Structure 1
């Protein structure tokens, strides 16, 4: 209460402390609606500015969390309605064979993007429960923006229909109808939404195997980890590979023909790799982020992100001294 009173009196530091516990949750919420970490950050900034300006009007009829979610939802929806829904590679065109041309980069606000998540943050378990997996967020982009918001508020954040209706300025009947339509659409998706959980120890061993494969330029250590239906995507290039054999051939002939070093990372609370290539100055430069989608002990989707603009925004070291990785092949 003291923070709230101080913030209402114009204390910006008090306001910052007041909203800090909700910052991560608001970012995840906006990311689910928008499919882009950058757009989510923009929506959160707009949310906090609106909350700061409107704090005098917060009458505490709802919790601060609910009030912030209301503002964030409307900010994210305005942004979502101003842009086309973000795509996955297989929404853009058919799969290609390993030796085919990869096409020209499709730039702009086109692709579903990854969300950096902290490896050791105590809210990681909560984030997993709140659905920030890449496949789930991609599936949400198949829904109209209002249905996205309803499904997230009801199924992910657990608000009752009447409260969602209040948040979205609609009726409970409309909320229930939108939720039913959203469920029907997601039931028809080919994205892997009902996956078997992977034990943490197995996750670590899979990531270690991929790090070794990138460092050695040798696919043999990860062949048995790929599901038969594995896919490889690489936005902003439109090309993608479908099926274990084609993925292995592409890794062997195209990816591992280049010089790489990799280290573990975490995106969308999924096992991931930060992948580096030699730069002209002798350092190693961030060249790709690889997010691994797992079903039990098998990798079903290798989501590689190689766009320079996206990589420049990612909170990872952009350049690393070569000796930090030790000996190289």
Structure 2
């Protein structure tokens, strides 16, 4: 695998691949001559999907921002070595993947509370955030590309950012993570991936086999994409509205009626999490429904799933301030998992306001 210093030095494009789809030769020539505006036009159609790829690799919107910025800077510096033997898309994915692999090597994997220990039977009222853990984060659906963009890939674009999928990827070494994403999500061949990752086709196929075994054990079926296709829009709105209304009214019975028996609720960066209807009910009644104060909510979507931005009343500010983004995972028409990502920094990528009246 190429080291960080190799990425700037050796990012010539591999032979093969598709044509320079979506690019214009004049812009490519201008960009090679140092025209940064021409380079921006070349990469603009690919920015969203490259950003989503970086998120899948890294599990954090903020890390994806940094990785994409770094990758595009490397691509700009190395553009004179792009000879057009592969598509610009393939070449940029090579640069972005190598950039992400550098980050994975330096930082390790991101976690959810379930990765740290067993669930708690009763509410931990004064739970303290863990600041020394790299936590998984949510991803706004506005960053996702068209599911039809790579029809040969196994996973649809929204399936490939579902929380269970992203969490499972974090248990893979960087090379396995990259190989699986490039093959199953983006539709590159094993031979193309071998060139992109500076390894052999045999190594890529081996990495794919190992990655698939891990995902098969960790990613539940059916996917949320397929689950949501079985629920009409009115039903989905009713489920999400029921959840937000129960929270705002402090209505424990209404909330419990929406949950499966094996429901879980976690709140990174808080380490404790809850599994099963009794434990989740105890937490819900003792903490968000009675102890936190007044809530306001805005519905949104995250990771290809329904989500809610929560705002908690702050007396000093005289407003409801942004508090957490909860991603809902459904089984049928009930909520199986609630993952509440605490922190105001999560709101910016979603375009959500910082406060509500």
Could you say if the C-alpha distance between residues 263 and 308 of structure 1 is closer, same or farther in structure 2, counting changes exceeding 3 Å? closer
Q: 1:17 aligns with which of 41, 56, 64?
A: 41
Q: Give the aligned partner of residue 182 of structure 1.
A: 211
Q: How many residues were matched structurally?
A: 319
Q: Give the aligned partner of residue 115 of structure 2.
A: 91
Matches of 1:253 and 1:109, distance apart in 2: 26
Q: Deviations over 1:147-194 (max 9, x none)?
A: 0001101111111111111110111111000110111122222x4353
Q: Deviations over 1:111-131 (max 9, x none)?
A: 111112239x88478664461
Q: 1:268 Cα shift?
A: 1.1
Q: Which moved more, 1:301-310 or 1:36-45?
A: 301-310
Q: Give the aligned partner of residue 227 of structure 2.
A: 197
Q: Give the aligned partner of residue 277 of structure 1.
A: 312
Q: Deviations over 1:56-75 (max 9, x none)?
A: 11101110110000000000
Q: How does 1:1-329 map to 2 (within 5 A)?
A: 1-101=25-125, 103-118=127-142, 123=146, 128-129=157-158, 131-189=160-218, 191-195=219-223, 196-198=226-228, 199-201=231-233, 202-257=235-290, 258=292, 259-279=294-314, 280-310=316-346, 315-320=351-356, 322=357
Unaligned runs of 5+ in 2: 1-24, 150-155
Taking structure 2 as the reference length, what is the TM-score of the superposition? Answer: 0.84
Q: Secondary structure at the match of 1:131?
A: helix
Q: Secondary structure at the match of 1:7?
A: helix
CA RMSD of aligned residues (A): 2.1
Taking structure 1 as the reference length, what is the TM-score of the superposition? Answer: 0.90
Matches of 2:325 and 2:221, distance apart in 1: 22
Matches of 2:287 and 2:126, distance apart in 1: 11
Q: Which moved more, 1:153-162 or 1:215-224?
A: 215-224
Q: Deviations over 1:206-237 (max 9, x none)?
A: 21112212222213333232122111001111
Unaligned runs of 5+ in 1: 323-329
